[in-house]
Structure 1
Amino acid sequence: MQETRLDLARIRAARRVIDPLFLDTPLYRCEALEPGLGCAVSIKLETANPVRSFKARGTEVVASLLADNGSQAVVCASAGNLGQALAWSGRGRGLDVTVVASRFATAAKLDRIRALDARLELVDGDHEMARDRAAAIARRDGIRLVEDSLDLETCEGAATIGLELMDSAPSFDTVLIALGGGALATGVGHVVKAMAPEAEVICVQPLGAPAMTHSWRQRRVVTTGRTDTIADGVAARCPIPAVLDDLLLVADDAVLVQEASIIAGMRLLLDYAGLVVEPSAALGIAAILEDRDRFAGRHVVTIVCGSNVDVEAYHHWVGAAPVRRSSTRGS
């Protein structure tokens, strides 16, 4: 494999500074899902932790390095999950954390950022506007700007999930990874391709937020003017060139899925796995639903990456009635 920015030795070292609360997360075969999907499905569950997403694996590495270097403050832009994670990791290491987010971000995520003692600044635009504002704060105050996916700590922290897949999973054919900024996809993808190159790495993005997928397909950065998806955690418009370069080396495919499939995936994870997840976490299941023939008879691992979802929105999308068993069977 050609060289990415990531390094296996640093990824292994990252495990030593990440709080054990975020490590060795459940990985299990979910047989109840399989009749409706037509393939063997294993779930890597990244929601059973204090911030209910995988993001703290990266922020633990960032915060540890900052604290060791005597830094006192840090800022990031976030759709919600990174902000929670950085607030949690920073609070534990005595860092003053500022999070910039869109005021249209999920209310539950914003409330949790505040509850973790971070300073929250809201902008009247999308995540890209929040990124610009966070960068301005970093310049003004002379503090570290954490840029998710660009900063290697965020990618290599996420990559520890890949180490756990390699250590714990029986042989699998495919790993399905939610694709937004790219930290999760490049991190896990790097480890999988380094240690099990025959396994297929497929990234999944909503049709309404396709910038990174278009970029991967065209092998150049493609930006979009807007996003339109319920999967706010992956709703990026402006891919980072260095991250795309890494993704081109580790991803075998990048696919787009419809909103209806994301919702159906959330329903299936509730009804057959007992999991309440945010839309981004259902992207892997959505990909199987949209192309059952591709995955038929294969062993697929999907990373359930977050469960920070507004309760009212969740009920609106998923509803209260269970999915009928017959409705999930493949055609």
Structure 2
Amino acid sequence: MIATRLDLARVRAARRDINPMFLDTPLYECDALGRELGCTVSIKLETANPVRCFKARGTELVAGLLTGQGRTAVVCASAGNLGQALAWSGRRRGLDVTVVATRRAPAAKLDRIRALGAELLLVDGDFETARERAAEVARERGIRLVEDSLDLETCEGAATIGLELAEAGSSADTVLIALGGGAMATGVGYVLKTLAPDVEVICVQPHGAPAMTRSWRERRVVTTDSTDTIADGVAGRFPIPEVLDDLLAVADDAVLVSEASIVAGMRLLLHHAGLVVEPSAALGVAAILEDRERFAGRHVATIICGGNVDLDAYDRWVRG
């Protein structure tokens, strides 16, 4: 039994509460990408949905729980994707959703949050500043604060991706997971280590936002003073102790990759898979690029976790 905060029965039950459009996402071998990388590559595509990312698996659980409790409002801090997902799930259930984000967040993500009907509060600073402001809003208004990765709903919603990987009968021996706050890494990792313990779980983070990876390596919370990465979706500085404990129980390795490799991964996903992805979604491919020998001849699955990107920035990265 894997000792984490997650529960397999709850993860299985979660599928009944998540809108089916976010479930059973495509999983397929991408031969062209595999030939380029020297290994078999399977893609788990989490972008073909209304919010273009995996986050709604968790926000569907949060919104359903809140409406069941008779609550009418909720607030979260977001780098962009959680805010979109919470706005989508909340609007369908009549919740007033407030999202706190940094002014540095990609304009495309901020525009989508507004378009989905949420109140958007912008702050100067980075994501940690947004987290502090969201907590203040929750106290001032007496409403529920959704904390990504700390709240089990966000982890167990993401864990349903792991169920789909395990139940697909894939021959993948390694799964590469983008690591930010840890909801997806702990959720997917927990299910795989419970149902398919021989599958290697590798988490991937940028060198410019290494806090959770350093914490995993040192087995204690390690914070950083700043972040410097185009992968805004994983750019946190303060790991959550409870999430780190879960990650220590389920991750086999945590690696850091360069910005150049992230951009190269985005290019490969466009050219060989026809996918426009945000930088965080290219972390798995970046990890293979930086250690081809490690993955040579293996079957690797990578989760394409988001496709919300400013097209001007994307064009500069991919064509530059």
Q: Where on the TM-score scale, by shorter chain, does this alignment land: which range?
A: over 0.9
For residues 253-274 of structure 1, the C-alpha deviation after alignment (integer angstroms, 9 at most, x for no partner) is 0000000000000000000000
Q: Give the C-alpha shift of residue 319 in structure 1.
A: 0.8
One-letter code aligned to 1:293: E
Q: Give the C-alpha shift of residue 34 in structure 1.
A: 1.2
Flag as ranges the 4+ runs of structure 1 deviating above 3 A: none
CA distance in 1, matches of 2:126, 2:90: 24
Other-structure match for 2:193: 193
Contact 2:2 2:193 in 1 (8 A): no
CA distance in 1, matches of 2:12, 2:196: 16
Number of positions where the alignment pairs a residue of Structure 1 with one of Structure 2: 320
Q: Which secondary structure does the structure 2 equivalent of 1:88 belong to?
A: helix
CA distance in 2, matches of 1:144, 1:118: 15
CA distance in 2, matches of 1:89, 1:34: 35
Contact 1:27 1:169 in 2 (8 A): no
Other-structure match for 2:179: 179
Q: Give the C-alpha shift of residue 195 in structure 1.
A: 0.4
Once superposed, what is the RMSD of the aligned Cα atoms?
0.7
Q: Which secondary structure does the structure 2 equivalent of 1:42 belong to?
A: strand
One-letter code aligned to 2:248: L
Other-structure match for 1:3: 3
User: Does residue 1:259 correspond to 2:267, yes or no?
Assistant: no
CA distance in 2, matches of 1:36, 1:24: 27
Q: Give the C-alpha shift of residue 143 in structure 1.
A: 0.5
CA distance in 1, matches of 2:51, 2:34: 29
Contact 1:269 1:275 in 2 (8 A): yes
User: Does residue 1:277 correspond to 2:277, yes or no?
Assistant: yes
One-letter code aligned to 1:190: Y
Other-structure match for 1:150: 150
Contact 2:221 2:240 in 1 (8 A): yes
Q: Give the C-alpha shift of residue 117 in structure 1.
A: 0.3
Other-structure match for 1:207: 207
One-letter code aligned to 1:104: R
Percent sequence identity over matched residues? 78
Q: Give the C-alpha shift of residue 167 in structure 1.
A: 1.2
Which shows bigger deviation, 32-41 or 266-275?
A: 32-41
Other-structure match for 1:289: 289
Which shows bigger deviation, 164-173 or 148-157?
A: 164-173
Q: Give the C-alpha shift of residue 169 in structure 1.
A: 4.0
User: Does residue 1:121 correspond to 2:121, yes or no?
Assistant: yes
Q: Which secondary structure does the structure 2 equivalent of 1:172 belong to?
A: coil
One-letter code aligned to 2:291: D
CA distance in 2, matches of 1:91, 1:169: 36
For residues 190-227 of structure 1, the C-alpha deviation after alignment (integer angstroms, 9 at most, x for no partner) is 00000011110000000000000000000000000000
One-letter code aligned to 1:163: L
Other-structure match for 2:136: 136
One-letter code aligned to 2:256: L
Other-structure match for 1:69: 69
Gaps of 5+ in 1: 321-331
Contact 2:81 2:109 in 1 (8 A): yes
Other-structure match for 1:220: 220
For residues 26-77 of structure 1, the C-alpha deviation after alignment (integer angstroms, 9 at most, x for no partner) is 0000001112111100000000000000000000000000011100000000
Contact 2:76 2:99 in 1 (8 A): yes
**What is the TM-score of this pair, normalised by structure 2?**
0.99
Contact 2:18 2:61 in 1 (8 A): yes
Q: Which secondary structure does the structure 2 equivalent of 1:6 belong to?
A: coil
CA distance in 2, matches of 1:126, 1:169: 41
CA distance in 2, matches of 1:130, 1:169: 40
CA distance in 2, matches of 1:75, 1:169: 38
For residues 80-123 of structure 1, the C-alpha deviation after alignment (integer angstroms, 9 at most, x for no partner) is 00000000000000000000000110000000000000000000
**What is the TM-score of this pair, normalised by structure 1?**
0.96
One-letter code aligned to 1:25: T
Q: Give the C-alpha shift of residue 2 in structure 1.
A: 3.5
